[in-house]
Structure 1
Amino acid sequence: MTFLVALFYVQYYGSWTTTQTDIVKTFISTIGSTSWFNIQKSYYYQDTPTSSKVNTTGPLTLGSTTTDNYSYGSQLTGSNIPRIIHNRIKSGELENDLQGIYLLLSSSDGKENYSSNASFCTNYCGYHSAFSVESSRYIYGFIGNPQESIGSCSVYNHLVSPNGDVGVDAMLSPMAHEIVEAMSDPLLDAWLDSKGSENADK
């Protein structure tokens, strides 16, 4: 399974300003027209080894967005992320779209542990996965704001950044990373090299 086009739904978790959400909105709305994203267009879906190849084309489109004022507190676990997203889908704040990709973006005071031995800003800056509710399967990603541990997920811009918000700007690179991987390897069983790396890991 590979996404040829992508409609993204964003769940802002925690404390976000309008200026910060505007940075994310602009980024998602424009990255699909960049030369960098053209690399993604070389990936394709193929039913069988002899069937026609259908390449990723884009565009990337931002769908509905919503905010969550710490419904699970500021310390999240990996199992919290799908629940938060699905709660907003059930409430109608996010569209129910099995062909869409949902991103949960946490604010700088949020912490997240995917498991007992893997945590945000220590082992990763973001990730993507999938979860199922009954017969429905959803693709999602998590990216946190690393402002409190800026050296972990931002190599260069520790004091200044292009949009004047070091933490949110530091989220954009892992966001791009997880976006293209969620498109080319949404169920973690598609585009991997011989070492198990996805396309954005290279």
Structure 2
Amino acid sequence: MSSSISLHSFLLLLLLPLILAASPFPYRSSKIPISVAGGKPPGDTLGESKRFEGSSDLVHLRYHMGPVLSSPIKLYLIWYGRWAISQQSTIRDFLLSISDTTAPSPSVSEWWSTVSLYADQTGSHVTRSLSIAGESSNPSLSRGSSLTRLSIQQVIADSIRTGLPADHRNGVYLVLTASGVDVQDFCRAVCGFHYFTFSSMVGQTLPYAWIGYSGRQCPEVCAYPFAVPAYMGRSTAAMRPPNGDIGVDGMVSVIAHELAELSTNPLVNAWYAGDDPTSPAEIADLCEGVYGSGGGGGYTGEVATDVAGRRFNLNGRKGRKFLIQWVWSPVLRACAGPNAVN
């Protein structure tokens, strides 16, 4: 049998006692960047080589025998709070771009091809097929405007009770919180995280991710580089977002971060660096803040600019453009993206 999302419930029975013994609620997150980046790097930061994307023999990314998401992924979107149609459209187009091979290079689907290099012990690779299978809206904030990590699972349970399927074979649930919704540790420690639901709360073991809209709450933290922290002064200019919404464009990169990690480490026992499964460094964590060649050490790397001055590094469906952080390649042993110039 191929190791895939359909094995989650079985594996969880074996792993949950060990995982919960280590931590009452471990989770993976898109962390607040420690170093931020802007324009040109100071001095001769890059040296003679532009391969400055975290390449290191000191990074020991290892496989820990758990499953990856090798079966076609069905995404279930849960819109918590009030969303503009244009905001939803941008996020949908990004998600649908992952499997769309018609966009010009460098494309979102080419970016995902690095994620699909990861495989499990059977040789089954992360799928390249992602589709939106269902959506749920909760504009009334039925669980309130302040959520904890556990109440996010209650939001998922509510959405299933009101119509979304509990798809334990192929489902991935994305909880997207709108402006004005506070989430535990949001803006202070995380911009998003991924984990799996507890059957006691949701009735099924389902992989999910939460990502928050940061356009008003903390754009300089979670929508960087479309906003920059005040402490950086005037030395670094904020970039213009490719789709005109600082919060959504920043959110798209966090969604990409979480999907890449969820697909390669859904049960916190597959691909990560470090010895502690409750605090692993996953394939997107290793490339935080890197968007192009030369990225790292406080520099985003080389990205493109359109005729309106908007910054991007990937093309998507319907002519969309996105600025998405790179992910760690197990082949190059470095951060990689299709917009690399060397």
TM-score (norm: length of structure 1):
0.89
Whole-Å Cα distance in 2 between the matches of residues 23 and 101 of structure 1?
19
The structure whose residues are more often helix, as a share, is: 1
Residue identity in the other structure for 2:143: Y
Whole-Å Cα distance in 2 between the matches of residues 146 and 106 of structure 1?
9
Whole-Å Cα distance in 1 between the matches of residues 219 and 145 of structure 2?
18
Q: C-alpha displacement at 1:171, in angstroms?
A: 0.3
Per-residue CA distance 1:136-173 (angstroms, 9 max, x = gap): 21111100001121001122213741111111111011
Unaligned 5+ runs, structure 1 = 47-51, 114-118
Q: C-alpha displacement at 1:59, in angstroms?
A: 1.1
Per-residue CA distance 1:77-116 (angstroms, 9 max, x = gap): 1111011111111221x12201311000001111100xxx
Whole-Å Cα distance in 2 between the matches of residues 109 and 45 of structure 1?
40
1:37 aligns with 2:117: no
**Larger deviation, residues 168-177 vs 148-157:** 148-157
Whole-Å Cα distance in 2 between the matches of residues 10 and 185 of structure 1?
20
Give 2:273's aligned residue.
193
Whole-Å Cα distance in 1 between the matches of residues 92 and 224 of structure 2?
23
Whole-Å Cα distance in 2 between the matches of residues 174 and 31 of structure 1?
14
What is the correspondence of 1:1-202 to structure 2 with a 5 Å cutoff?
A: 1-4=67-70, 5-33=72-100, 34-46=109-121, 52-69=122-139, 70-92=141-163, 94-98=164-168, 99-113=170-184, 119-134=185-200, 136-148=204-216, 149-158=218-227, 160-194=240-274, 196-202=280-286
Identity of aligned residues (%): 30
Q: C-alpha displacement at 1:58, in angstroms?
A: 1.4
Q: C-alpha displacement at 1:194, in angstroms?
A: 2.8
Whole-Å Cα distance in 1 between the matches of residues 115 and 133 of structure 2?
20
The secondary structure found in structure 1 opposite 2:87 is helix
Whole-Å Cα distance in 1 between the matches of residues 257 and 250 of structure 2?
12
CA RMSD of aligned residues (A): 1.5
Tell whether the 8 Å contact from 2:166 to 2:204 is kept in structure 1 after alignment: no
Q: C-alpha displacement at 1:133, in angstroms?
A: 2.1
Which runs of at least 4 in structure 1 moved beyond 4 Å after TM superposition?
none
The secondary structure found in structure 2 opposite 1:198 is coil
Whole-Å Cα distance in 1 between the matches of residues 113 and 206 of structure 2?
25
Unaligned 5+ runs, structure 2 = 1-66, 101-108, 228-237, 287-342
The secondary structure found in structure 2 opposite 1:151 is helix
Give 1:116's aligned residue.
none
How many pairs were matched up?
191
Tell whether the 8 Å contact from 2:82 to 2:178 is kept in structure 1 after alignment: yes
Larger radius of gyration: 2
Residue identity in the other structure for 2:92: K
The secondary structure found in structure 1 opposite 2:272 is coil
TM-score (norm: length of structure 2):
0.54
Per-residue CA distance 1:52-76 (angstroms, 9 max, x = gap): 4111231111110111121112111
